[in-house]
Chains A and B, each alone.
Chain A
Amino acid sequence: MSKTDVVVTGLGATTPLGGDVSTTWSALLDGRSGVSTLPEEWHDKLPVHFAGQIAQEPSEKLPRPRLRRLDRTQQFALIAAQEAWDDAGAPEVDPLRLGVVVSSGIGGILTILEQYDTFREKGWKRVSPFTVPMLMPNSPAAAVALEFTARAGAHAPVSACASSAEAIGNAIDMIRAGRADIVIAGGTEAAIHPLNIASFASMRALSTRNDDPQRASRPWDAQRDGFVMGEGAGILVLESAEHAAKRGARVYAHAAGVGYTDDAHDIVMPDPEGAGQARAITQALTDADLKPSDIVHVNAHATSTPAGDVGETRAIRAALGDSAADQVAVTSTKSMTGHLLGGAGAVESIATILALHEGQIPPTINITELDPEVAVDIVRDKPREMPSGDVAAINESFGFGGHNIAVAFRRA
């Protein structure tokens, strides 16, 4: 039995580069950094003084009484979901055939930390009665389901920084399984807080390039020294091709297939051989019924850490084989957005989809000296034109815990 064809009909995002998809996308093509300086009062406590902070605060879009009962992850998710839904033409759909898969890597950690402060300073009665529905990791999925009356099921797969790529994969699977005609899918993260920066910094995972924050995120550069934490959300509207055709929807791309693997190597370090990452790509190709030579572009996970970036390029080469790997144009948009953790896979899938749709691959910025071990062709500094025709691209997302997700999109 052939698989149900799933297509992308709507996109929404709020990122360090812009409050919507179009401003984010034009900043990506321009090679602009969204990294900015953290509040002054945090500096003396932390070795890192910058992050990819959201470009447009949710208070510009949501009224105050709504904001106070939504965690920041939910606020981002709702803003991005509304944009994606409108972009899809606000489709008429039976609520029983509308699903949600929206992830966060960490969940409502800012709510937990703020309410703990309130508890210690003022006692239990001053703790918000919305604390639990704000902090639970399914809260963004639940808020989106409530907002759009989606009753086919709301899910929140959690796999650290691979979470929102996994959400998109699960959404494809949900439509193929016949459980929904449309699924609102993606991810969100809002974790910029001194404790979280301290936690990643204590792992020595973050860049400490305080003298040049906008050049700190530099995937594949020989002098890369860690990732730059970011915040934001990306949401896609996925739909069965049949349903989309029936209502005459604009189609950005086919959501062609997904591969899921785990390294089972170390709780945080990726397998240096990249075997699990390569298997994820191979599985995505098989699932999507694509050949390695169909893949012209990979939006890589590459976070700018010494440990991860180069191994990923080896995995791409291993999975595609030398002749296809020689042709593939690889980029890391994290060089501009920073690392959106649970929002990364969705925002980067949007960049992958728009690269196919617009024919332009966004560059990787900030590479001064390319690491000589890099095994594929990196798009540097300026966008590159994508080949015409029936081609495909992959978004890769990996997470602490050894999670590897590859999502394949094919040009519509």
Chain B
Amino acid sequence: MALSEQEILAGLGEIIEEIVGTEPSEVTPEKSFVDDLDIDSLSMVEIAVAAQDKFGVEIPDDQLKDLKTVQDVVNFIQK
């Protein structure tokens, strides 16, 4: 069963809070990981691994670098 966008957003919010300490309410679709959420590349690797555990979707390294915003990750997981 596919997860809704809201469920993915909530899950990502939990992951990002755990890894970098950002308030889940800050994690909204239009936000850029680097520019808005101040998340560096090593933390993105951690987030991708945690997202794989949570959503069962593997994010390959060559695609991770193209995921710039929260919406990009939501779309990738929904696909």
Per-position 1/0 for B24-65, Cβ under 8 A of A: 000000000000000000110110010000000000000000
Query: Which partner residue on chain A sits nearest B41 by CB separation?
Result: A129
Whole-angstrom distance between the Cβ of A302 and the nearest chain B Cβ: 43
Q: Is the CB of B21 within 8 A of A64?
A: yes
Residues from chain B with a CB closer than 8 A to the CB of A43 are none
Q: Is the CB of B21 within 8 A of A130?
A: no
Whole-angstrom distance between the Cβ of A155 and the nearest chain B Cβ: 24
Count residues on chain A whose CB falls below 8 Å from chain B CBs: 12
A62 to B21 Cα, complex, angstroms: 12
Whole-angstrom distance between the Cβ of B78 and the nearest chain A Cβ: 22
Whole-angstrom distance between the Cβ of A176 and the nearest chain B Cβ: 37
Residue B3 interfacial (CB < 8 Å): no
A64 to B49 Cα, complex, angstroms: 18
Q: Is the CB of A68 within 8 A of B42?
A: no
Count residues on chain B whose CB falls below 8 Å from chain A CBs: 10
Q: Is the CB of B49 within 8 A of A65?
A: no
> Known contacts A125-B49, A126-B49: does B21 contact A63 (CB below 8 Å)?
yes
Residue B20 interfacial (CB < 8 Å): yes
Per-position 1/0 for A122-157, Cβ under 8 A of B: 000110111001000000000000000000000000
Residue A66 interfacial (CB < 8 Å): yes
Partner of A129 from the list B17, B20, B21, B46 (CB cut-off 8 Å) is B46
Query: Which partner residue on chain B sits nearest A131 by CB separation?
Result: B42
Whole-angstrom distance between the Cβ of B61 and the nearest chain A Cβ: 10
A397 to B42 Cα, complex, angstroms: 38
| Chain A 92-149 residues near chain B, CB threshold 8 A | 125-126, 128-130, 133
Residues from chain A with a CB closer than 8 A to the CB of B10 are none
Query: Which partner residue on chain A sits nearest B53 by CB separation?
Result: A126
Whole-angstrom distance between the Cβ of B13 and the nearest chain A Cβ: 14
Q: Is the CB of A65 within 8 A of B18?
A: yes
Residues from chain A with a CB closer than 8 A to the CB of B20 are 65
A129 to B43 Cα, complex, angstroms: 8
Residues from chain A with a CB closer than 8 A to the CB of B18 are 64-65
A399 to B8 Cα, complex, angstroms: 54
A63 to B17 Cα, complex, angstroms: 11
Q: Is the CB of B19 within 8 A of A129?
A: no
Whole-angstrom distance between the Cβ of B47 and the nearest chain A Cβ: 10
Q: Is the CB of B21 within 8 A of A65?
A: yes
Residues from chain A with a CB closer than 8 A to the CB of B49 are 125-126
Whole-angstrom distance between the Cβ of B56 and the nearest chain A Cβ: 14
Query: Which partner residue on chain B sits nearest A66 by CB separation?
Result: B21
Per-position 1/0 for A196-238, Cβ under 8 A of B: 0000000000000000000000000000000000000000000
A383 to B18 Cα, complex, angstroms: 47
Residues from chain B with a CB closer than 8 A to the CB of A64 are 18, 21
Whole-angstrom distance between the Cβ of A387 and the nearest chain B Cβ: 51
Whole-angstrom distance between the Cβ of A130 and the nearest chain B Cβ: 6
Residues from chain A with a CB closer than 8 A to the CB of B43 are 69, 129
Residues from chain B with a CB closer than 8 A to the CB of A68 are 19
Whole-angstrom distance between the Cβ of A218 and the nearest chain B Cβ: 44
Whole-angstrom distance between the Cβ of A11 and the nearest chain B Cβ: 29
Whole-angstrom distance between the Cβ of B55 and the nearest chain A Cβ: 15
Most chain B C-beta atoms within 10 Å of own C-beta, residue among A65, A66, A133: A65
Residues from chain B with a CB closer than 8 A to the CB of A63 are 21
Query: Which partner residue on chain A sits nearest B46 by CB separation?
Result: A129
| Interface CB pairs A-B, < 8 A, 22 | A63-B21, A64-B18, A64-B21, A65-B17, A65-B18, A65-B19, A65-B20, A65-B21, A66-B21, A68-B19, A69-B42, A69-B43, A125-B49, A126-B49, A128-B46, A129-B42, A129-B43, A129-B45, A129-B46, A130-B42, A130-B46, A133-B42
A residues sitting closer than 8 Å to B (CB atoms) are: 63-66, 68-69, 125-126, 128-130, 133
